[in-house]
Chains A and B, each alone.
Chain A
């Protein structure tokens, strides 16, 4: 009888909770099978590309960092690398390490926010983190302290808590002293233990059996787990330098979404983010990360998107260990930035934002003014894969009652930690209070 009740219906979520930005979801089921899936995005991020035209090359890191309140460092990094590729700038080893360090801070902040505040409530059956905080204040307190350590790194290197302003083409405006960096060590050592606990905790959550055959795409670097540099590789044979990105990936407009869908030419959807990075770079993780991942039953690759919460926890541990390593080996560089000469050209930058590869391309004139800009954020690259997951998930669970299926569809989207855009955040109050 159940299948009859469920044979034709629509699952609709007008405003998705616990995702960054404004999004909605519609799944149509007709005669017992999925007839349509639409993951809608209302935000218009393209405004920023227009805003950049005519501005100085040096404005790009600060302007683009406002696209996202969660991952401003990623925008700064992709933009400065693109500009540096035009000017031919070479950074010394310590400046390069400081860039990795500030990225560690952003990964810690972003991953901990998602793991504990946004994703854990799904698995534990809480409507939101407020309910979780009422029942388990100690978990939330610990999560906030862990997240704050990421914030402390970004604040120290970025110059202030929010909207970091210390990153520039060629390096930084000011670099920290050894003593300033060393002040982070004790907290990071505490964080390393908590991150191991976090991996163990997330591995105990109940996961649906749901494995898909994805094309994972991530950066891969010969020596290290990727943040800023590497080649773009996939598990299905892609292996290209960053500058060839646009020869292999194209953006398509779809009617139901304001964000463009990114696809691989002649191949279709692909997957970016923690699962892709992990599955393509397991061998570059630290021994402690590898060992802890194995101890909780996580393999060297992971094709279950619900387990992204464990993978994010492993990457949090990596970021903490990497931060400790960089701080230990730090020597203050002679100059906070490398010299360069402005010239005209086209440059690409692609770095690993917490949610996956973030591609920037700029064309500059001879004065260094931006002629045009292209920005492809991770979420627009994952949109097609999210829709595919939804379709497959609903197909496999079509007999669930609507409320349960709706919850799990939302969870399927939250697996990707979609950052639809933080370009606006005003509070839509639906009451008047004088």
Chain B
């Protein structure tokens, strides 16, 4: 098991107060490029940014809704498979656009991130700002290593995209 993941600091049960910004990395350590969201989140966590909570998640929608409840700004990082060149970084703004229905039917979670966003929209409780950073993956087979193109994208997301989004909040 990854030592970062087992760090008791990550135990939100013992967290006293929520910050303003939540960054969630979604993924699975055991599915190659699918781990990218988690790895990005772990790197950002090490920077100890003020007013920012960083968490990792498996992508199940209902618990994601519970996770982001009470945060004003939410950034989600996840692996994507859209046919674009591996390493492509997609930026989506759920407050401005509805995620296409097809999105749901290809997620392997019964109730996915996209559905969580749409249910929040229907209930009128989407966070004030929300950004989804999708990183195009290449290999989603069982394994514990990243493709090189995805690895390169990780650096860009950690160093540029997060700062860029943070400066707009």
Residues of A within 8 A of B110 (CB): 17-20, 113, 117-118
> Which residues on B sit within 8 Å (CB–CB) of A63?
1
Structural contact, A425 and B29, CB atoms closer than 8 A: no
Interface size class of B (residues with CB under 8 A): 35 or more
User: Which residues does chain B contribute within 8 Å of A163, judged by CB atoms?
Assistant: 5, 56, 58
Q: Which residues on B are within 8 Å of A, measured CB to CB?
A: 1, 5-6, 8, 10-13, 26-31, 33-34, 55-60, 62-63, 65-67, 78-84, 88, 90-92, 100, 102-115, 118-119, 122-124, 134, 137, 140, 142
Q: Are B123 and A429 in contact (CB under 8 A)?
A: no
- Contact between chains at B57 and A162 (CB < 8 Å): yes
The 5 residue pairs across chains A and B that have the minimum distance between CB atoms = A428-B106, A429-B82, A69-B58, A133-B122, A47-B142
Least CB separation from A143: chain B residue = B62
CA gap between A109 and B67 in the complex, in Å: 14
Q: Which residues of A contact B103 (CB under 8 A)?
A: 427, 429-430
Which residue of the partner chain B has the closest CB to A429? B82
User: Given A15, A69, A420, which contacts B105 in the complex, CB threshold below 8 Å?
Assistant: A15
List residues 104-152 of chain A with CB under 8 A from any CB of chain B: 109, 113, 117-118, 128-130, 133-134, 137, 140-141, 144, 147-148, 151
Count of chain A to chain B residue pairs whose CB atoms are closer than 8 Å in the complex: 177
Once the chains bind, are B90 and A434 in contact (CB under 8 Å)? yes
User: Which of B8, B81, B119 interacts with A427 by CB under 8 Å?
Assistant: B81
Q: Is A432 touching B90 in the complex (CB atoms < 8 A)?
A: yes
The answer to whether B119 and A140 have CB atoms under 8 Å apart is yes
Interface of B, secondary structure class, is mixed
Pick the interface stretch among A153-161, A231-239, A376-384: A153-161
Q: Are B28 and A66 in contact (CB under 8 A)?
A: yes
A293 at interface, CB cutoff 8 A: no
Which residue of chain A has the shortest Cβ distance to B59 in the bound complex? A425
Partner of B63, one of A20, A137, A161, A423: A161
Is A422 a contact of B60 with CB atoms below 8 Å? yes
Note all chain B residues with C-beta closer than 8 A to A430. Answer: 82-83, 100, 102-103, 106
Closest chain B residue to A19, Cβ basis? B110
Q: Contact check, A432 vs B83: say whether CB atoms are below 8 A apart.
A: yes
> Complex formed: what's the CA distance from A113 to B115 in Å?
13
Chain A residues numbered 313-341 whose CB sits less than 8 Å from any CB in chain B: none
Report the Cα distance A245→B138, complex, angstroms: 40
Distance, CA A28 to CA B97, complexed state (A)? 40
Chain A contact residues: helix, strand, loop or mixed: loop
> Mind listing 30 A-B residue pairs with CB under 8 Å?
A17-B104, A19-B110, A47-B30, A69-B109, A113-B62, A113-B111, A128-B115, A129-B111, A137-B123, A144-B66, A148-B66, A155-B13, A159-B8, A160-B11, A161-B55, A422-B58, A422-B60, A422-B108, A423-B28, A425-B60, A425-B109, A426-B33, A427-B106, A428-B107, A429-B90, A429-B134, A430-B83, A430-B103, A432-B84, A432-B88
A424: Cβ under 8 A from any B Cβ: yes
Count of interface residues, chain A, beta-carbon cutoff 8 Å: 57
Which of B30, B34, B57 is within 8 Å of A426, CB to CB? B34
Chain B residues whose CB sits within 8 angstroms of the CB of A15 once the complex forms: 105-106
Question: What chain B residues lie within 8 Å of A241 (beta carbons)?
Answer: none
- Contacting residues, chain B, for A51 (C-beta < 8 A): 30, 142
Residues of chain A with a CB closer than 8 A to B10's CB: 160
A19 to chain B, nearest CB (A): 6
Evaluate contact between A428 and B82: CB separation under 8 angstroms: yes
Residues on A with C-beta less than 8 A from B28 are 66, 423-425
Min CB–CB distance A117 → chain B (angstroms): 5
Is A251 an interface residue, CB under 8 A from the partner? no
| A62 part of interface (Cβ distance < 8 Å) | yes
**Chain B hits for A20, CB < 8 A:** 108-110
Shortest C-beta distance, B38 to chain A (Å), equals 10
Q: Are A165 and B108 in contact (CB under 8 A)?
A: no
Cα A430 to Cα B34 in complex, Å, equals 17
Residue from A17, A151, A159, A425 in contact with B66 in the complex, judged by beta carbons closer than 8 Å: A151
A427 B134 Cβ-Cβ under 8 A: yes
* Residues of chain A contacted by B134 (CB below 8 angstroms): 427, 429
Kindly report which residue of chain B lies nearest to residue A433, judged by CB atoms. Answer: B90
Question: Is A423 in contact with B31, judged by CB distance below 8 angstroms?
Answer: yes
Q: Which among A140, A156, A423 is the interface contact of B13 at CB below 8 angstroms?
A: A156
Instruction: Contact check, A66 vs B29: say whether CB atoms are below 8 A apart.
Output: yes
Are the C-beta atoms of A426 and B31 separated by less than 8 Å? yes
